[in-house]
């Protein structure tokens, strides 16, 4: 059973209270069994570091069994639940709020570290960094125990779980929420990448969940990844043309996250951060116009920076993890990174996690050379430039496509109501981008409502529409506007500066 649904519970503070019941149901009871296997790896008196402790079930059980436990989670609501559990059990657990990739540990060492059902919530780079941090926090010979999801063994179960994940992906695509399925990283490779030696005899499997144990050797090998040319991850030929067309319509086309170089950057950099949306990465490369640079491509799940930032998918943690993993501070001596303006809200957190200076760059990659040479923050772009003709054509195409899908249920409605809605949707899909500036209101909904009012009123007065049809248009206009506003780069302008 997929862990994916369960993730909902720990992404909303209001649902946290249901987490324990939820995870048991979502894993068909395997989660409890797996935690018992993990507990079996911890001896009384040992120092345990529990990463992403959630509601504290494992941390509290380990403390009851005589371990000395430090448990870290970023969610205050989860930690409060965990503290209540520890108090009820009468045990002391040192709960700390923080990010597991940048754990609040002052050089402490542990005998065992655990990460149960956490790593699948993280990008590959963040998960790798968490494992590296955990390995560094272990005493030589200490063990890291991870429990997470793998593909089910049987074909039937694979199909069912695959279906569930596909549905979640589509839902997350449509509503741009953070409820993407959990990831099944290549766990053994990740353990090895963190410098740990797999202990096969202690590893096991329960349903779709796996427990893997890694041992820390006396000397941890250095683990810095090599920076490759950016061209290595960009598709070529027909594939590129097809993917670019899909990216033009805002489909989340990903490239492999990592740190890449464009041209031959020197120790002065510059270092630029972007999301792993194909079109963004290509825009950065093109915008550099021959300048050398290191480009940090973080895993925004294939979304453009603006959308990903709004959905919380473009975050400071992933960027900071990449800076660490690729040892960027050994490649440049300026410790300065430029973040795109539409993702500028990561600025202070990224500075705090990485210790780097963070500059907010231009909105558009074509302004990068000017920004890099003057160092001056670009002025706000005018609406005319940000929402020029090519962008309006793109938004019209995107709006019409979304309307075609979202209005499909109208097939169930009698033609008398369906037709005016469809005709208006078609007209508005084209007119809203073209007449955007002329229509009153700040949001797509208000602009579409105004357009709907105008069309309905003029149609009824001229005798081309019945009153009933005019009312149907008025009622459907907000929905059309909502779809339009989700496609424009300008409607939520103010939200960009949150
Ligand atoms: C699915 S729960 C697992 C909780 C617990 N380990 C268990 O076995 O039930 C994942 C937990 O990881 C936490 N988490 C996810 N990403 C994190 C991060 N980057 N830093 C700290 N905690 C994180 C979430 O807040 C959540 O409590």
Q: Is the pLDDT of residue 480 over 60?
A: yes
Predicted confidence at residue 378, as pLDDT, reads 59
Predicted confidence at residue 64, as pLDDT, reads 96
Task: Compute, in angstroms, the gap from residue 418 CA to the centroid of ligand 1.
Answer: 47
DSSP character at residue 142 = E
Q: Is the pLDDT of residue 474 over 60?
A: yes
More confident residue, 397 or 181: 397
CATH architecture of 4-215: 3-Layer(aba) Sandwich (3.40)
Query: In which residue are the tokens 């086309």 written?
Result: 253
Residues in contact with ligand 1 by the CB-under-6-Å rule are 10, 23, 52-54, 57-58, 73-75, 78, 99-101, 116-118, 121-122, 317
The pLDDT confidence band at residue 163, using thresholds 50, 70 and 90, is: confident
Task: Give the Cβ contact number of residue 266 at 10 Å.
Answer: 12
Burial of 460 (0-12, 13-18, 19+ CB in 10 A): middle
Residue with CA closest to ligand 1 atom 14? 52
User: Mutation test of ligand 1: which of 73, 77, 81, 114 has the most ligand atoms closer than 8 Å to its C-beta?
Assistant: 73
| 4-215 shares its CATH topology with 228-379 | yes
- pLDDT, tens only, 214-272: 999 998 887 788 899 998 888 888 888 888 888 887 777 889 999 999 988 989 879 99
Predicted confidence at residue 451, as pLDDT, reads 94
H or E segment and range at residue 272: strand 271-275
Q: Delimit the domains of the chain by residue range.
A: 4-215, 228-379, 386-485
Cβ(33)–Cβ(57) below 8 Å: no
Task: Compute, in angstroms, the gap from residue 54 CA to the centroid of ligand 1.
Answer: 5
User: What CA–CA distances, in Å, run from 398 to 46, 203, 418, 431?
Assistant: 57, 48, 21, 13
Residue with CA closest to ligand 1 atom 26? 54
Atom of ligand 1 nearest to the CA of 317: 19
Topology of the domain comprising 228-379: Rossmann fold (3.40.50)
Task: Compute, in angstroms, the gap from residue 80 CA to the centroid of ligand 1.
Answer: 13
In angstroms, the CA 268 to CA 373 distance is 12
Sequential DSSP letters for 283-330: HHHHHTTT--EEEEEE--TT--HHHHHHTT-S-HHHHHHHHHHTTHHH
- pLDDT, tens only, 12-46: 555 666 777 777 777 777 888 889 999 999 999 99
In angstroms, the CA 200 to CA 184 distance is 19
Q: Is the pLDDT of residue 404 over 90?
A: no
Q: Which residues contact 273 (CB under 8 A, 6 or more apart)?
A: 295, 296, 298, 319, 337, 338, 339, 340, 343, 346, 350
User: Mutation test of ligand 1: which of 1, 30, 59, 121 has the most ligand atoms closer than 8 Å to its C-beta?
Assistant: 121
- pLDDT, tens only, 165-175: 777 777 665 55
Residue with CA closest to ligand 1 atom 10? 118
In angstroms, the CA 183 to CA 150 distance is 9
Q: Is the pLDDT of residue 2 over 50?
A: no
């Amino acid at each position: 059973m997929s862990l994916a649904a369960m993730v909902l519970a720990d992404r909303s503070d209001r649902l946290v209270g249901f987490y324990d019941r939820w995870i048991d149901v979502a894993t068909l009871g395997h989660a409890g069994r797996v935690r018992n296997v993990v507990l079996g790896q911890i001896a009384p008196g040992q120092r345990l570091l529990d990463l992403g402790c959630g509601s504290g079930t494992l941390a509290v059980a380990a403390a009851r069994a005589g371990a000395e436990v430090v448990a870290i989670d970023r969610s205050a609501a989860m930690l409060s639940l965990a503290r209540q559990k520890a108090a009820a059990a009468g045990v002391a657990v040192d709960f700390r709020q923080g990010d597991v990739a940048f754990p609040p540990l002052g050089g402490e060492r542990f005998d065992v570290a655990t990460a149960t059902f956490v790593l699948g919530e993280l990008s590959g780079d963040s998960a790798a960094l968490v494992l590296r941090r955990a390995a560094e926090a272990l005493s030589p010979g200490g063990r890291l125990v991870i429990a997470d999801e793998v593909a089910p063994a049987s074909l039937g179960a694979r199909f069912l779980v695959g279906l569930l994940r596909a549905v979640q992906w589509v839902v997350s695509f449509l509503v741009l929420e953070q409820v993407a399925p959990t990831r099944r990283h290549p766990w053994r490779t990740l353990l090895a990448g963190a410098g740990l030696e797999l202990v096969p005899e202690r590893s096991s499997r329960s349903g779709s969940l796996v427990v893997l144990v890694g041992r820390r050797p006396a000397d941890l090998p250095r683990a810095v990844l090599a920076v490759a040319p950016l061209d290595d991850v960009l598709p070529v030929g027909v594939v590129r043309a097809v993917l670019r067309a899909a990216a033009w319509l805002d489909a989340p086309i990903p490239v492999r996250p990592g740190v890449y170089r464009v041209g031959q950057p020197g120790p002065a950099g510059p270092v630029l951060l972007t999301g792993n949306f194909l079109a963004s990465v290509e825009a950065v490369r093109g915008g550099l116009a021959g300048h050398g640079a290191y480009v940090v491509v973080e895993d925004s799940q294939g979304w453009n920076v603006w959308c990903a930032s709004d959905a919380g998918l473009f975050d400071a943690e992933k960027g900071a993890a990449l800076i660490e993993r690729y040892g960027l501070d050994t490649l440049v001596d300026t410790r300065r990174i430029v973040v795109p303006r539409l993702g500028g809200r990561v600025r202070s957190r990224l500075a705090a996690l990485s210790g780097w200076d963070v500059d907010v760059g231009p909105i558009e990659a074509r302004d990068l050379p000017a920004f890099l040479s003057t160092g001056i923050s670009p002025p706000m772009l005018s609406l005319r430039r940000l929402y020029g003709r090519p962008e309006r054509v793109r938004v019209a195409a995107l709006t019409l496509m979304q309307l075609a899908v979202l209005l499909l249920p109208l097939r169930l409605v009698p033609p008398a109501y369906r037709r005016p809605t469809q005709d208006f949707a078609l007209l508005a899909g084209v007119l809203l981008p073209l007449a955007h500036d002329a229509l009153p209101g700040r949001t797509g909904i208000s602009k579409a409502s105004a357009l709907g009012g105008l069309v309905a009123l003029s149609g009824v007065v001229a005798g081309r529409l019945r009153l009933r049809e005019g009312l149907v248009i008025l009622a459907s206009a907000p929905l059309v506007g909502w779809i339009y506003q989700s496609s424009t780069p300008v409607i939520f302008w103010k939200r960009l500066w949150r």
